[in-house]
């Protein structure tokens, strides 16, 4: 232990010795001024919020407008995931695959060891134990993150079951994921802290074999809340592959029809493609009810009853703010009325928050996400396009009473969808599990503000996992095929579907109104499961027969309805050629089943 590190709170007596030794080793490397073991209590959270306000890291919002809520403004260079600096450092490069950045583990450890030397000097190192999934659930997994960012601690306390209860679950033989994070901005004696510390040098590194995550230089949630994408998807995809369960970038919802039958649905959409809106859907059809279980990540395993059962490993929502409003997602707006941390949204003159899409009326004056004066005549948006709200799941008024059931919920349907202006129909059902895996493997979407790159650019995002898989993508597909084979053997495989809310007409209009009207598609999906409605063949799969979805009630004309399912063989053939190139990148690990399904798609064209 270095002389510069002083324990403010000693390790709890029940802390496993392996964790204590690991914390001491990281402290010796990073040299924090003090170490705090977080217990997850309400008192601890409020103290950290108050300290962050005093330090200028957070702005307390007007309690009359937004009780117990805060605004964080990040460094303009630290506003999204940095996929180019995210690495899967498997022992064998081939295990990372062509869609991940790879570096030799030993070489990367040398690089990180040098960066982390003294990285926390002048700061506090927080020890943050957490459970992904309900504490004690057979589907839950445990981790411990150390960080020098109070923002990350506060966010992790919202997004996970964090604190003493999680720490108590880790015994001498319990597996746990160690995660190390630093903003990479050590303070010299006499130097003041910066409002949003970060470093131009950034690394987000995963070691699949040893289950470690190391993150340096960023305080943005997707790069720094390591329990989220880093653990719940990248490391979990490796663990799930070895243990026979699925880590999926999927929302979870419960839908109950007018006859009282409940269905559970998992849906995989790329980031900023409407997952939260769909998870909190308010049906436009009388008699239908939708409840929320999760909006981003699902862990799914075959249960004792033979069915695929899922948990939401998270305990909160890290939602995209722009576009979320009273007309698009009233449930989310009600949820964030209090006790919410906002990041990179605009500040109103009376101490509330605002972003594009929140209200029809645009305020005459705001302070934008960078702290500058803003008016409707300003050239830049008031809120960053990837600005966020972080809020506890239990605040969601549509949360299902089974959302944190330790046994998970039984999955009846799996849906894939992306942001596609052309080619992909409103909805199609896979012919079988193998065809459904092909749907997921060839999923493509237009790039959004949640990731680096050109907005609107079409990119392949298989299973909505392109930035989040910790294994070779083809191995991930084969794992889905293997899990499906076991489910098929027991007769319990969920039905698989593909949707596209974003198809546009020749004039650029969205052909489908989306939002609450998506309930009509969801109703059709559940009624297909019950075999209450018919479908017809198309190159994509089974699509609705005339009259099975009341599109007129959704305000859609017959012409637009036909355009939602229009097939352009030349355009689809060109896209199939592009798919050939993408699949070829997978090399010899490409599953035969995916090749077979692609050949069948071409033949149907």
Question: Do both 442 and 349 map to the same domain?
Answer: no
Q: What is the pLDDT of residue 7?
A: 55
Whether residue 238 is annotated as binding a ligand: the answer is no
Question: Do both 278 and 204 map to the same domain?
Answer: no
Residue 113, φ and ψ in degrees, nearest 5: -60, -40
Find where tokens 């052309």 sit: 422
Structure tokens at 410: 């039984």
Q: What is the pLDDT of residue 472?
A: 98
Question: Do both 389 and 300 map to the same domain?
Answer: no
Question: Do both 96 and 160 map to the same domain?
Answer: yes
Answer yes or no: are the C-beta atoms of 387 and 321 closer than 8 Å. Answer: yes
Helices of type H across 181-336: 221-224, 236-243, 275-279, 330-335
Whether residue 81 is annotated as binding a ligand: the answer is yes
H/E segment holding residue 7: strand 6-7
Answer yes or no: are the C-beta atoms of 475 and 522 closer than 8 Å. Answer: no
Domain boundary among 338, 360, 394: 394
Q: How far apart are CA 257 and CA 234, in angstroms?
A: 35
Is residue 125 classed as helix, strand or coil in its secondary structure?
strand
Question: Do both 321 and 309 map to the same domain?
Answer: no
Whether residue 89 is annotated as binding a ligand: the answer is no
Q: How far apart are CA 413 and CA 404, in angstroms?
A: 19
Question: Do both 559 and 422 map to the same domain?
Answer: yes
Domain boundary among 359, 394, 429: 394
Asked whether residue 66 is assigned to any structural domain, the reply reads: no
Q: What is the pLDDT of residue 271?
A: 77
Whether residue 440 is annotated as binding a ligand: the answer is no
Helices and strands counted in the chain (H then E)? 16, 32
pLDDT tens by residue, 51-99: 999 999 999 999 999 999 999 999 999 999 999 999 999 999 999 999 9
Tell me the Cα Rg of the chain.
24
Residue ranges in the chain whose pLDDT is less than 70 = 1-9, 447-457
The three-state DSSP-derived secondary structure of 216-235 is ECCCCHHHHCCHHHHHHHHH
Q: What residues make up the domain containing 376?
A: 317-394
Among residues 382, 381, 295, 384, which one has the least CA distance to residue 343?
384
Asked whether residue 65 is assigned to any structural domain, the reply reads: no
Per annotation, catalytic residue among 38, 89, 198, 273: 273
Whether residue 388 is annotated as binding a ligand: the answer is yes
Q: What is the pLDDT of residue 4?
A: 47
Asked whether residue 132 is assigned to any structural domain, the reply reads: yes
The interaxial angle of helices 592-604 and 569-584, nearest 10 deg, is 170
Domain boundary among 371, 394, 417: 394
Alpha-carbon dihedral 164, 168, 173, 179, rounded to 10 degrees: -10
Q: Which residues of 83-97 are buried (b: 16+ CB within 10 A; e: fewer)?
A: bebbbbbbeeeebbb
- Strand 262-268 with 251-256, pairing: antiparallel
Asked whether residue 192 is assigned to any structural domain, the reply reads: yes
Question: Do both 364 and 308 map to the same domain?
Answer: no
Instruction: Please measure the distance between the N-terminal and C-terminal CA atoms of the chain and give it in whole angstroms.
Output: 67
Question: Do both 485 and 538 map to the same domain?
Answer: yes
Q: What is the pLDDT of residue 505?
A: 94
Supply the CATH number for residue 26's domain: 3.40.449.10
Whether residue 33 is annotated as binding a ligand: the answer is no
Whether residue 282 is annotated as binding a ligand: the answer is no
Structure tokens at 52: 């962050």
Neighbours of 68 (CB within 10 A): 13
Question: Do both 96 and 47 map to the same domain?
Answer: yes
Answer yes or no: are the C-beta atoms of 292 and 325 closer than 8 Å. Answer: no
Question: Do both 413 and 540 map to the same domain?
Answer: yes
Asked whether residue 77 is assigned to any structural domain, the reply reads: no
| Residue 273 bears catalytic tag | yes
Whether residue 488 is annotated as binding a ligand: the answer is no
Q: What is the pLDDT of residue 364?
A: 98
Domain count, the chain: 3
Among residues 259, 287, 265, 263, which one has the least CA distance to residue 278?
265
pLDDT tens by residue, 568-600: 999 999 999 999 999 999 999 999 999 999 999
Asked whether residue 71 is assigned to any structural domain, the reply reads: no
Q: What is the pLDDT of residue 205?
A: 98
Asked whether residue 239 is assigned to any structural domain, the reply reads: yes
Q: What is the pLDDT of residue 2?
A: 42
Whether residue 378 is annotated as binding a ligand: the answer is no
CA-angle at 220, arms to 214 and 224, nearest 5°: 25
Q: What is the pLDDT of residue 1?
A: 40
Residue 601, φ and ψ in degrees, nearest 5: -60, -45
The three-state DSSP-derived secondary structure of 145-186 is EEECCHHHHHHHHHHCEECHHHHHCCCCCCCCEEEEEECCCC
Q: What pTM was estimated for this model as a whole?
A: 0.95
Supply the CATH number for residue 378's domain: 2.170.8.10
Question: Do both 90 and 227 map to the same domain?
Answer: yes
Question: Do both 590 and 458 map to the same domain?
Answer: yes
Whether residue 284 is annotated as binding a ligand: the answer is no
Asked whether residue 69 is assigned to any structural domain, the reply reads: no
Whether residue 307 is annotated as binding a ligand: the answer is no
Supply the CATH number for residue 466's domain: 3.90.228.20
């Amino acid at each position: 232990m270095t002389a510069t590190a002083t324990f403010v709170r000693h390790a709890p007596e029940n802390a496993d010795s392996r964790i204590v030794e690991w914390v001491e080793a990281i402290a010796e490397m990073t040299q924090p001024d003090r170490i705090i073991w977080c217990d997850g209590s309400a008192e601890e959270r409020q103290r950290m919020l108050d300290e962050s306000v005093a330090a200028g890291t957070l702005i307390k919002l007007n309690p009359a407008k937004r009780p117990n809520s805060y605004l964080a403004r990040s460094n303009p260079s630290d506003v999204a995931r940095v996929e180019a600096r995210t690495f899967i450092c498997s022992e064998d490069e081939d295990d990372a695959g062509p869609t991940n950045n790879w570096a030799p583990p030993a070489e990367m450890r040398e690089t990180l060891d040098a960066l982390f030397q003294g990285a926390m000097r002048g700061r506090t190192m927080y020890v943050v134990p957490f459970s992904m999934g309900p504490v004690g659930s057979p589907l839950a997994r445990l981790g411990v993150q150390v960080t020098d960012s109070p923002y990350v601690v506060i966010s992790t306390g919202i997004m996970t079951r964090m604190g003493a209860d999680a720490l108590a679950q880790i015994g001498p033989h319990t597996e746990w994921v160690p995660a190390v994070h630093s903003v990479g901005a050590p303070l010299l004696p006499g130097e003041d802290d910066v409002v949003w510390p970060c470093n131009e040098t950034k690394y987000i590194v995963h070691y699949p074999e040893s289950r470690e995550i190391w993150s340096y230089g960023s305080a943005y949630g997707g790069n720094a809340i390591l329990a989220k994408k880093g653990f719940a998807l990248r490391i979990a995809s490796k663990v799930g592959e070895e243990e026979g369960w699925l880590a999926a970038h999927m929302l979870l919802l419960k839908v109950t029809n007018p006859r009282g039958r409940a269905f559970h649905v998992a849906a995989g959409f790329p980031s900023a493609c409407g997952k939260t809106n769909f998870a909190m859907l308010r049906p436009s059809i009388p008699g239908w009810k939708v409840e929320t279980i999760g909006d981003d990540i699902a862990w799914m395993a075959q249960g004792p009853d033979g069915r695929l059962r899922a948990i939401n490993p998270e305990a909160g929502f890290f939602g995209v703010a722009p576009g979320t409003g009273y007309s698009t997602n009233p449930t989310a707006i009600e949820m964030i009325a209090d006790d919410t941390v906002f990041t990179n949204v605009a500040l109103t003159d009376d101490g509330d928050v605002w972003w594009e899409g929140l209200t029809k009326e645009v305020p005459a004056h705001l302070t934008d996400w960078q702290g500058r004066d803003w008016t409707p005549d300003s050239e830049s948006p008031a809120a960053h396009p990837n600005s966020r709200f972080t809020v506890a799941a239990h605040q969601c008024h549509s949360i299902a009473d089974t959302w944190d059931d330790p046994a998970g919920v039984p999955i009846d349907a799996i849906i894939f969808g992306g942001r596609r202006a052309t080619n992909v129909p409103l909805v199609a059902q896979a012919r079988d599990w193998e065809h459904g895996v092909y749907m997921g493997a060839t999923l493509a979407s237009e790039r959004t503000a949640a990731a680096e790159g050109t907005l609107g650019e079409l990119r392949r995002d298989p299973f909505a996992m392109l930035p989040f898989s910790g294994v070779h993508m083809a191995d991930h597909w084969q794992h889905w095929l293997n899990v499906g084979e076991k489910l098929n053997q027991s007769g319990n495989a969920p039905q698989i579907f593909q949707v596209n809310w974003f198809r546009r007409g020749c004039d650029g209009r969205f052909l489908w109104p989306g939002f609450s009207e998506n309930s009509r598609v969801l109703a059709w999906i559940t009624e297909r499961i019950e075999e209450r409605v018919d479908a017809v063949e198309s190159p994509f799969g089974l699509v609705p027969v005339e009259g099975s979805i009341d599109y007129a009630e959704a305000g859609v004309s017959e012409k637009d309805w036909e355009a939602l399912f229009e097939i352009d063989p030349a355009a689809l053939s060109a896209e199939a050629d592009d798919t050939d190139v993408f699949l070829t990148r997978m090399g010899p690990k490409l599953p035969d089943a995916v090749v077979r399904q692609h050949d069948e798609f071409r033949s149907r064209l």
